[in-house]
């Protein structure tokens, strides 16, 4: 009789533990929906060192799952041997205007001037900040950071 009670208690404990594990287990993780404009690619076109006084324009394509207004992007030139110039001074905007409609693709451009690099290919990273709002009255300006990568060929 004692053995039967022990077995019954173990079965009850196992069933209870399984039930608790089922209630505690979370659903599979889902990625949060992306808010605002997103670059289609963070990889920019390759450049060569000392690209001269004309520099090299780089364009970044953006898409948004929701409407985004007052778009601005600033690429920071923290990379050594490189300078970034924005068409509007401190920032750049989209080619077709500062508004990006839902699922529309538009691009923003910046100019890069490169200095001397060691022979071979060098990877440079350029952090960037994007600002926008949701086009409503009294909309708060939202921002996000991203990182652009470019290969520079040294001779």
Local confidence band at 35 (pLDDT 50, 70, 90 cut-offs): confident
pLDDT tens digit string along 102-115?
A: 999 999 999 999 99
pLDDT tens digit string along 120-144?
A: 999 999 999 999 999 999 999 999 9
CA-to-CA distance for 83 and 74, rounded, in angstroms?
A: 13
pLDDT tens digit string along 43-90?
A: 999 999 999 889 999 999 999 999 999 999 999 998 888 999 999 999
pTM above 0.95, yes or no: no
Which phi and psi angles does 18 have, rounded to 5°? Answer: -65, -45
CB 131 within 8 A of CB 117: no
């Amino acid at each position: 009789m004692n053995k039967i009670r022990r077995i019954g208690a173990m079965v009850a404990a196992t069933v209870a533990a399984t039930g608790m594990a089922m209630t505690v287990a979370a659903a599979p993780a889902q990625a949060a929906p992306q808010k605002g404009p997103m670059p289609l690619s963070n990889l920019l076109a390759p450049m060569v060192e000392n690209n001269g006084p004309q520099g090299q324009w780089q364009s970044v394509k953006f898409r948004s799952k929701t409407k985004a207004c007052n778009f601005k992007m600033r690429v920071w030139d923290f990379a050594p041997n490189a300078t970034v110039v924005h068409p509007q001074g401190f920032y750049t905007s989209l080619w077709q205007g500062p508004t990006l409609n839902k699922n529309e693709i538009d691009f923003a451009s910046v100019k890069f001037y490169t200095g001397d690099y060691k022979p071979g290919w060098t990877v440079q990273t350029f952090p960037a900040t994007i600002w926008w709002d949701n086009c409503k009255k009294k909309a708060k300006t939202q921002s996000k950071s991203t990182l652009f990568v470019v290969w520079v060929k040294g001779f």
